[in-house]
Structure 1
């Protein structure tokens, strides 16, 4: 993959160029959807991945094996966020907001998310969730991430985004992004997605609405990462609620 994205091509323009009707339909059907075009160039991906060694950029580091989350390591960005992280999160929010509100209506839930990300984050902070939840993850050979949900308090946005920063098959093998869906009165359904470098996968934070004979019901979902066989895998996680 070459550096085809011009520096002046701002993240907001790249997110706006996504086919949101197609992506939303896939989200509704499966609970996750991959952008057809990259959001970051290879150079931008490398620059973000290189931030991992700059500990001053982060508020905390989590060793997954120590906490029995899997194997590998991730770091939460401190404020102020790097420009690409801040800009991408702000660009995604208005496109994900209609999906969040639609899902809430189908499930008969409140939809507390205001029209702007700034107002929503202010609500998170008043709820006791003032810390950045933006994540840079690093996996090496044998590392993996257990199935989980990124819930950090009562204030939750129902969608999030992960962006691949390395090239599968070139920089690493294995390391597929995993999702499982718990279906009513049936065994769970799983999916595995390779993240092309620079592309974003939008996925549900905790559940999605599914149609049933009685109307709409919530299908709980969890996500994780399969074992990395070789190489090194970095990803950027964009979460639209802050942490306690």
Structure 2
């Protein structure tokens, strides 16, 4: 899939919205082509513009996160803006289901301006670099007044060839019930739209909130490179751990 707005416009957003409603995630096959995915993955080892944070310093696993900063490079910046435009109506519908008055603006730049006015200026979009025995623990990025309820996770390495293990794992906690785990299968260049922290779930009489977290299971061999697009920024904090809600 190309990164143009036209390509996103041609997706069946009604079907994607229905899957997000029922499962809390939806897969976008081949967000990046194989060559583009590998080019983006090389940034993890070569770019000096990325801010590297060790996961063990956050008590969040083993491996590294590499933060882009406020100004995302291409194609990440274009993907983020185009995807937001399609996801904002879904986010607003979710808020309506839950009786929440907050509505997200139609364009990403307007939403990020709300973030800035609220003191949310710490960028969260990043690459992840996980080697053998590395993993990313269950967590959610839900800090701040303005939290967008959806985010996008992209796989930039080929499972079974570049690495084994390293599955994207989601958990969903419904009131008075055990957590429900789900493994989301992704191939090279695939992306998953996932719920950031909470989503509506239709009960017997009304919608209620369910709580979600995501993780990457232990990489058994090789190296797994991925990317994560967050549509909201976090409040500035002295420690990166403040931007996470950890499941520990």
Deviations 1:38-88 (A, max 9, x none): 111111111111111345322x32211122101111111024321100010
Deviation at 1:14, TM superposition (A): 2.9
Q: What is the DSSP-based 3-state SS (H/G/I as helix, E as strand, rest coil) of the residue aligned with 2:22?
A: helix
What pairs up with 1:199-218 in 2 under 5 angstroms? 199-218=190-209
Using the alignment, how far apart are the partners of 1:38 and 1:19 within structure 2? 15
Q: Is contact 2:128-2:226 (8 Å) kept? A: yes
Coordinate RMSD, CA, aligned: 1.4
User: CA, structure 1 residues 169+17, in 2 after alignment: closer, same or farther (shift >3 Å)?
Assistant: farther
Using the alignment, how far apart are the partners of 2:21 and 2:38 within structure 1? 32
Aligned twin of 1:197: 188
Q: Are 2:143 and 1:175 aligned?
A: no
Deviation at 1:112, TM superposition (A): 3.4
Q: Are 2:92 and 1:101 aligned?
A: yes
Using the alignment, how far apart are the partners of 2:35 and 2:48 within structure 1? 22
Using the alignment, how far apart are the partners of 2:181 and 2:115 within structure 1? 31
Q: Is contact 2:3-2:79 (8 Å) kept? A: no
Using the alignment, how far apart are the partners of 1:49 and 1:19 within structure 2? 28
Gaps of 5+ in 2: 236-248
Q: Is contact 2:3-2:31 (8 Å) kept? A: no
Gaps of 5+ in 1: none
Q: Is contact 2:56-2:63 (8 Å) kept? A: yes
Q: Are 2:132 and 1:141 aligned?
A: yes
Using the alignment, how far apart are the partners of 1:13 and 1:50 within structure 2? 27
Deviation at 1:13, TM superposition (A): 2.9
TM-score by length of 1: 0.91
Q: Which stretch has the larger CA shift, 130-139 or 218-227?
A: 130-139
Q: Are 2:124 and 1:155 aligned?
A: no
TM-score by length of 2: 0.90
Using the alignment, how far apart are the partners of 1:119 and 1:231 within structure 2? 41
Q: What is the DSSP-based 3-state SS (H/G/I as helix, E as strand, rest coil) of the residue aligned with 1:56?
A: coil
Q: Are 2:11 and 1:18 aligned?
A: yes
Q: Are 2:243 and 1:243 aligned?
A: no
What pairs up with 1:110-125 in 2 under 5 angstroms? 110-125=101-116
Deviation at 1:157, TM superposition (A): 0.4
Deviation at 1:164, TM superposition (A): 0.7
- 1:232 maps to which of 215, 223, 226: 223
Using the alignment, how far apart are the partners of 2:54 and 2:182 within structure 1? 26
Aligned twin of 2:35: 43
Q: Are 2:11 and 1:27 aligned?
A: no
Using the alignment, how far apart are the partners of 1:76 and 1:95 within structure 2? 24
Q: Is contact 1:51-1:57 (8 Å) kept? A: no
Deviations 1:71-121 (A, max 9, x none): 111111024321100010011011101110111001111323111111000
